[in-house]
Chains A and B, each alone.
Chain A
Amino acid sequence: ACAQRGAGAMAQIEGVIGLVGKDYTMLMTDSNFADSILIRRHDYDKTLALDKHKLLAMGGDSADMVQFGEYIQKNLTLYELRNGFPLSTHAAANYLRGEVAHGLRSGGMVLLDFLLGGYDKEQGPSLYFLDYLAALHKVNKVAHGYPAMFVTPILDREWREGMTEAEGLEVMNHCIEAIQKRFLVNMPSFTIKVVDANGVRTIRAAGQ
C-alpha cells in the first residue's frame, strides 16, 4: 500500500500546527490542495469537527482525509448516540490512534498526520499529536510536515502557558511568516480554527 501511494513523499509537505492556550486549543493548516507539483486549490479546508468540542487537523493523502476523517467522525457520533455522552478528548485520541495502528498492518494504511484539539469540561483544552505511524503524544505545541522545521523554533521560543486567543494568534502569524519567507513550497493561505468551551470556531477560513 505504501508503494502505491505516490503522494507518500508529498504528505510531508503539508503543514499542520497546533498550540494550547488558556482555555482553548488552536489548530492551523495550510490551505493548499496539491497534486504532485501542481497546487489545484488555495482554499482547501484540512480540518474536520469530530463533535462539538473536538477538531481534527490533517496533513497528507487527500482521499484519506475525507474517508478516514469522516469514518472517525461517524464513529464518535455513534458512540454519543448509543451512550448519551461523547467520548473524552483523551479517549477519542486513543481510539483514533488504534484505528491508524490497525491500518498499518492490514494493508489499509492511513497516510495522514493528525493534530487533535479538544476541550473537556474538567480537563480544559488539550492537544494530541498523532502521526501516520500511530505515534500518539499529548502536547502543548507542535507541528507536522516540512513546515514544522521552520515553525518549531518559533513555538519553542514564543509559546507560554495560559496564552489568550490574541496571543496565540500572534504566534500562529509568526509561524505563517516564517513558512512563507523560508519554505520552498508556496503557501499563500492558511486555515486557523479554535476549540473552546463554546465549541469549534473559525478564526481564519481556508483561502483568506
Chain B
Amino acid sequence: ELLEAAMSRRYDSRTTIFSPEGRLYQVEYAMEAISHAGTAVGILSSEGVVLAAEKKITSKLLEPSKSSEKMYMIDEHVACAVAGITADANILINYARQAAQRYQFTYQESMPVEQLVQALCDTKQGYTQYGGLRPFGVSVLYAGWDAQHGYQLYCSDPSGNYGGWMATSIGASTQAAQSIMKQEYKPGEMPLQAALQLAVKVLSKTCDSANLTADKRARARARAPSPIGL
C-alpha cells in the first residue's frame, strides 16, 4: 500500500496524466480543497429553486464584503452558489456571465440553463486534459429557469462532470447534508416555503457554529421567468 502511494506521487505533477490506477490526482486534490469550504445546498421546488450557503467568517477584522463570496447572479434567469477557492470561482463566474451574454447577443433569447452549465463544464474539463494547468478548485450549484425545462438545479465539480438534481450540496459536510435531504425531500411535494425551510435546516445541522445568524447565510431563490431574489 505504501509503495503504491509513493509511486502514485509521480503522476501528480501533471494534470494531463492518468495514474496507473486510472485516476486524475489533481482533480481529486481539487475536490479535497473544496471539502474544506463553506457548505452550499440547492433544493428544487415546483415553484422555484432555493440556494443557501454558509459564509465562513475567517476573521472579525474582515470588512463585511459588499459582494457575496458564495452566491452570484449569472444572468437574470440563472444564479449560482460556489464552494472552493474563491479566486478560481471568480474566473468561472466571469466566464459563465460572458457565455450567457454571448448567447443572448446571438439569439436574442436567454441561454437555456443546461447549455450554460455545459459551457462552463467544458471549460473545466479542458483544464484536466490540455495545457498542463491545474484544474479549478471550485464546485458550483446552478439554479435557473428556462422555457424548455422550467426550474432546474445542477451541480458541477472540478472534473467538469455535472448532474441535474432535486436536492444536493457542495463544500464541507456534504455527506451529512445529503443524508438529511434524502430523508426530508419529497419529490413533487415541495412548495417553495418547504424548500426554504429544508435548506435552513440542513445548513443549521451541518454548520459549525452553535447558532445560525442571518449574516452566515446567503440565500437565493429563482422564480419564473425571472427575477432572482438574492
Instruction: Spell out A's residues near B (CB within 8 Å).
Output: 83, 85, 87-88, 90-91, 94-95, 98
Whether the Cβ atoms of B107 and A87 lie closer than 8 Å is: yes
Q: Please tell me if B106 contacts chain A, counting CB pairs below 8 Å.
A: yes
User: Within the assembled complex, what's the spacing in Å between the Cα atoms of A85 and B114?
Assistant: 12
| A-B interface pairs (CB < 8 A), number | 19
User: Within the assembled complex, what's the spacing in Å between the Cα atoms of A5 and B228?
Assistant: 51
Whether the Cβ atoms of A90 and B108 lie closer than 8 Å is: yes
The 19 sampled A-B contact pairs (Cβ below 8 Å) are: A83-B112, A83-B114, A83-B115, A85-B148, A87-B107, A88-B109, A90-B108, A90-B109, A91-B107, A91-B108, A91-B109, A94-B106, A94-B107, A94-B108, A94-B109, A95-B106, A95-B107, A98-B105, A98-B106
User: Within the assembled complex, what's the spacing in Å between the Cα atoms of A49 and B8?
Assistant: 56
Q: Which residues of B contact A91 (CB under 8 A)?
A: 107-109
Q: What class of interface size applies to chain B in its complex with A? A: under 10
Q: Which residues of B contact A87 (CB under 8 A)?
A: 107
User: Which single residue of chain B is at the shortest CB-CB distance from A98?
Assistant: B106
User: Within the assembled complex, what's the spacing in Å between the Cα atoms of A88 and B115?
Assistant: 15
User: Which single residue of chain B is at the shortest CB-CB distance from A93?
Assistant: B108
Given A91-B107, A91-B109, 17 more A-B residue pairs with CB atoms under 8 Å apart are A83-B112, A83-B114, A83-B115, A85-B148, A87-B107, A88-B109, A90-B108, A90-B109, A91-B108, A94-B106, A94-B107, A94-B108, A94-B109, A95-B106, A95-B107, A98-B105, A98-B106
Nearest CB of chain B from residue A141's CB, rounded to whole Å: 22
User: Within the assembled complex, what's the spacing in Å between the Cα atoms of A107 and B112?
Assistant: 33
Q: Which residues of B contact A85 (CB under 8 A)?
A: 148
Q: Which residues of A contact B107 (CB under 8 A)?
A: 87, 91, 94-95
User: Within the assembled complex, what's the spacing in Å between the Cα atoms of A85 and B105?
Assistant: 20
Give per-residue flags for B76-107: 1 if the beta carbon is below 8 A from chain A beta carbons, else 0: 00000000000000000000000000000111
Which 8 pairs from chain A and chain B are nearest by CB?
Answer: A91-B107, A94-B108, A91-B109, A98-B106, A94-B107, A95-B107, A95-B106, A85-B148
Nearest CB of chain A from residue B178's CB, rounded to whole Å: 28
Nearest CB of chain B from residue A10's CB, rounded to whole Å: 31
Q: Which residues of A contact B105 (CB under 8 A)?
A: 98
Q: Which residues of A contact B115 (CB under 8 A)?
A: 83
Nearest CB of chain A from residue B34's CB, rounded to whole Å: 29
The CB with the most chain A CB atoms within 10 A, among B107, B112, B148, is that of: B107
Q: Which residues of B contact A95 (CB under 8 A)?
A: 106-107
User: Within the assembled complex, what's the spacing in Å between the Cα atoms of A90 and B110?
Assistant: 12
Nearest CB of chain A from residue B104's CB, rounded to whole Å: 10
User: Within the assembled complex, what's the spacing in Å between the Cα atoms of A85 and B148?
Assistant: 8
Nearest CB of chain B from residue A61's CB, rounded to whole Å: 24
User: Within the assembled complex, what's the spacing in Å between the Cα atoms of A94 and B148?
Assistant: 19
Q: Which residues of B contact A83 (CB under 8 A)?
A: 112, 114-115
Q: Which residues of A contact B112 (CB under 8 A)?
A: 83
Give per-residue flags for B108-122: 1 if the beta carbon is below 8 A from chain A beta carbons, else 0: 110010110000000
User: Within the assembled complex, what's the spacing in Å between the Cα atoms of A98 and B108?
Assistant: 10
Nearest CB of chain B from residue A23's CB, rounded to whole Å: 21
User: Within the assembled complex, what's the spacing in Å between the Cα atoms of A81 and B115?
Assistant: 13
